[in-house]
């Protein structure tokens, strides 16, 4: 969908702004650090020489705008359930026949009041999953 996401697996939420029915999300690329560090999981478990993922001056930053947003949710990625159905994209995804879209349509007046297609996009970030229901394709800067 957007080529910039094909070369990077880690993106972090920097800003989340709602203005009317427009949602503007700022994200920054996470870069695997060359500095190694040990990570302690608990008192008994330690993983040696991990490479942390950091946002620094080399990180690319993007602003993604969604217009005509009908519904959205932000979930800590630790608690997110993988979405069913066909998914196009890796970080910015377009979902086909998703359970979230079905839930929103069944529990709102959207299907009765909106003409034309309704889309489910998601941003699959390192720490957050953001689901957006909209009638328009997002714009990226």
Query: What is the maximal distance between C-alpha atoms in the chain?
Result: 58
Q: How many CA atoms lie within 13 A of 77 on its CB side?
A: 13
Distance of CA 69 to the CA centre of its chain: 15
Give kind and range of the element (H or E) at residue 112. Answer: helix 110-113
Count of domains forming the chain = 1
pLDDT tens column, 47-59? 888 888 999 999 9
Residues 16-63 pLDDT 10s: 999 999 999 999 999 998 889 888 888 889 888 888 899 999 999 999
Range of the domain at 127: 3-140
Closest of 65, 116, 122 to residue 92, by C-alpha: 122
């Amino acid at each position: 969908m957007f080529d910039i996401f094909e070369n990077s697996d880690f993106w972090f939420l920097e800003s989340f702004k709602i203005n009317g029915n427009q949602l503007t999300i700022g994200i920054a690329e996470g870069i695997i650090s060359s500095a190694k560090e040990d990570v302690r999981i608990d008192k008994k478990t330690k993983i040696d020489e991990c490479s942390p993922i950091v946002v620094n001056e080399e990180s690319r930053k993007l602003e993604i705008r969604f217009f005509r947003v009908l519904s959205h949710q932000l979930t800590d990625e630790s608690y997110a359930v993988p979405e069913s159905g066909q998914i196009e994209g890796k970080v910015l995804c377009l979902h086909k026949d998703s359970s979230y879209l079905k839930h929103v349509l069944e529990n709102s007046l959207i299907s009765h009041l909106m003409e034309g297609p309704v889309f489910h996009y998601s941003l699959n970030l390192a720490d957050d999953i953001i689901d957006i229901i909209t009638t328009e394709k997002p714009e990226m800067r």
